[in-house]
Amino acid sequence: MAEVQLNFGAGLIKALHKNTSAEDIVRLIKANGYDARVQGEPLEEASRPAGKLRTKTLLAVVSGLLLGAGLVSEWAWADRGLQVYLFAAAMATGGYYVYKTAIDSLRSLILDMNVLMSISSVGAVFLGQWSEGATVVFLFSVGNLLQAYTIDKTRSSIKAMMQLAPKEARVIAGDGGESMIPAEKVSVGDTILVKPGESIPVDGTVIKGLSWVNQASITGESKPVEKTEGEEVFAGSLNNEGSLYIRCTHLATDSTLAKMIQLVEEAQAKKAPSQQFVDVFARYYTPAVIIGSVLVVAVPVVLLGLPFADWFYKALVLLVISCPCALVISTPVSIVSAIGNAARNGVLIKGGVYLEALGKVKNIAFDKTGTVTTGMMTVTDIYPVDNIDSDRLLQAAGAVERFSEHPLARSVMAEVSKRNISLPESDSFRSFPGKGAVCKVEGKEIYVGNKRLVAELGIPLGEIAQVEAELEKSGKTIVYMTTSRKLLGILGIEDVPRNSAGEAVKQLQQLGIEKVVILSGDNEATAANIAGRLGIKEYRSNLLPDDKVREVEALTRQGETVMVGDGVNDAPALAVANVGIAMGAAGTDTALDTADVALMNDELMHIPAVIRLGRKARAIIGQNVVIAVGLKLIFLVLTFVGISNLWMAVFADTGASILVTLNGMRLARYKF
C-alpha cells in the first residue's frame, strides 16, 4: 500500500493501494482484531457496532458475576480450587477481546494497552493473585465498554448527517408520470417532486411551487426559509408546507450535504498540533514504560537483593498506570466533538489545527462588500453626461455587467430589470480584478469600473467631479461608465451593514480581539462610513486583491489572524491568513474548497461563537492532559509507597480515559 490514513472520528481508513486488493486490506485489518468492510458494502450482523457492543456487554456482565462469585467464595473460605476456577472463568469471559487483541497487536509488533493489561493479569496469576488478575480484567473490560459507548457518541454528528438525505426520489417523467428511484440514480436535469413533510433528496432549483423549507441541517438557520421558483434548495433539508417541483443541479454524491460529510470526515482526520505532539510522545513513551518496568524489577532484585514477588508486583502496577491511553485520546475526542457540533450548526471547520488557531486568534480582518454588508446593493443615483439619458447609461452599464458576478454588477442588473430596459448585443468581455471590466457593445468598447480604472484610462471627470465628491462624502460606492476616450456617466450605489454585523463586532471586541479591521476595495469615504456604523476603528480602503494579501500578511506577523470573506474574490487573502473563513458557502464549491472554515449561511454571529468554541476546545484539551497525567502521577507515587495495587491502577487508568472522553464530549453540547 502506498498510503494509509486513519480517521478516528469517522471510524474510517483510507488506503491508497496498487498491488493489494480491497478484500486483502479488509482481511489484514480483521487479522489485527478489528472489524472492517469496504465503504458502502453492508456489514455482517455479527460485526455491526451495536451487535459487537451487545456481545462485549454480555461478556462483561458474565465476567462480573463470576468475579463476584469468586470473591464471595474467597471470603467464605471455600475450596481454593473453586475460587481459582471462578476467577479463571471471569478472566476468560471478560478478557476474551482483550487477550485476542493483545495477541494480534504482538503479531504486528505493537505494544498497546491490551498487551500491557494482558501482561499484568497473567503476571498476577503467576504470583498467585487470581482475584486481582480477574479484577483487573473485569475493570478493564468494563472501561473498554464505556469508552466504546462514549466514543460512538462522538461520531454521531456524521451518522446523523448521513441519515438526513432520503434514499429515494420521486422523479417526474416527460409524460408527467411519477416513479420512485434511488436518490443516487437521479441525473442532473431530472425533475423531482417533493411533497410536504418530505426531505429533499438532491440539490436543485425550484421550477414550480411555493413552500417553506427547513434547511437548518445545512446552513444552521433556525427558521424555515421561503422557497419559490428560481430558488436553490439543498439535499437533506425538509419541505414543510407546499409541494415543490425541483430540477436537479448536482448528483446525490456531489450535493452540498455530501461535501459537508466529506469535509467533516477529512477535518476529523487532520490532527491538531497538540494531537501531533501527543502521538509522537506516545510512540516513544510506551516502550520506555516497559523498559522502566523491567528496571523496577531488575535493579532492586538483582542489585539490592530485595524480594522478587514484591517488586515484580510493583512493576505490573507501573505497567498499568503508565499506559498513555487517556493522554492519547484526550485531544482527538475533543476535536471530533467540537467539529461535529460546529457542523450541526452550519459551520464547517476543516481540521483541529484551525480549531486550535481560532482559540488563539488576536486579529480579525473582514472584507466589506457581501461580508459585513448585505451585498444587496441598490442604485440610488444616476448621473449621465454628454446628453445621454439615464436609461441609455444603464443600458450601456448592463450590457457589460451582465457577464460579471460582482455584487456591484448585480445591483446594476437589478436596476436594469426594474426599469425593463432591453440590452443591446455585447461580447468580448474582459475583467480587470479590483478595477472593473470592458465589453464590446454594438462594436464600441464600453468600460465599467472604479476610479482606479478611469485614472488608468486617463479619462477626465470634468463637470461630474463635484457630484462625485458629494457621493463619496455620503459613503456611496461610485461606478464609472466610459468609452476609451470619454466619460459617459456615473452611478451611485449604496450598501448597508448586515443586521447582525454590529452585534458580532461588539462580541468580538468583548472577547478581547486586539484588532478588528475592514479591508475594502471601495474609496475611503465608503469604507469609513461602514466601519463607523459598525463601531470598527480600523479600515483599509482602495485595496486591490494583492493589497488585501499584504494587509493580512502584516496582521499575521502581529498574531493569529482570521480573514473573513466570500471565498471567491477574497481567496488569496483567505489563503494567507492563519484561518480563512468563507461566508455563505452553501452550494458554493469555491468557498468550500478555499476556506479553512466555511459558514454555510451568512450569519456573522457564528464568528464569535466559533472563536469561543475554539477557546473552549483548547481549555478542555488542557484539562484532559492534566487529568490524564495527574492521575497517573498520583497513583505512581502511591505504588512506590505500597498503597496502590493492580485493580486500583486499572481503575485509575480506565477512569482517566472515561473522564477525558466525557469531558471532551462536553464540546458536542456547546451552545452556539
Annotated catalytic residues are: 367
Alpha carbons 609 and 508: distance in angstroms, whole number: 9
Q: Is 634 helix (H, G, I), strand (E, B) or coil?
A: helix
Q: DSSP string spanning 455-497?
A: HHHT---GGGHHHHHHHHHTT-EEEEEE-SSSEEEEEEEE--B
Rg (CA), the chain: 32
- Using DSSP's 3-state secondary structure scheme, residue 577 falls into coil
For 129, phi then psi, to 5°, come to: -95, 70
One DSSP character per residue, 297-328 reads: HHIIIIIT---HHHHHHHHHHHHHHT--HHHH
Burial class of residue 557 (count of CB atoms within 10 Å of its CB; 0-12, 13-18, 19+): exposed
**CA geometry: angle 19, 20, 25, nearest 5 deg:** 165
Q: DSSP character for 568?
A: S
Which DSSP state fits 223? S
Strand partners, 141: none
Query: Are the CB atoms for 331 and 347 separated by under 8 Å?
Result: no
3-class secondary structure for 245-294?
Answer: EEEECCCHHHCHHHHHHHHHHHHHHCCCHHHHHHHHHHHHHHHHHHHHHH
- What is the per-residue burial (b if ≥16 Cβ within 10 Å, else e) of 98-110? bbebbebbeeeee
The Cα angle at residue 407 between residues 549 and 545, in degrees rounded to 5: 15
SS (HEC) of 171-210: EECCCCCEEEEEHHHCCCCCEEEECCCCECCCCEEEEEEC
Q: Which three cell numbers stand for residue 193?
A: 417532486
- Name the amino acid, one letter, at 206: V
CA torsion, points 92, 95, 100, 102, in degrees to nearest 10?
Answer: -130
Residues 178 and 203 sit within 8 Å (Cβ to Cβ): no
Residue pair 94/138 in contact (Cβ under 8 Å)? The answer is yes
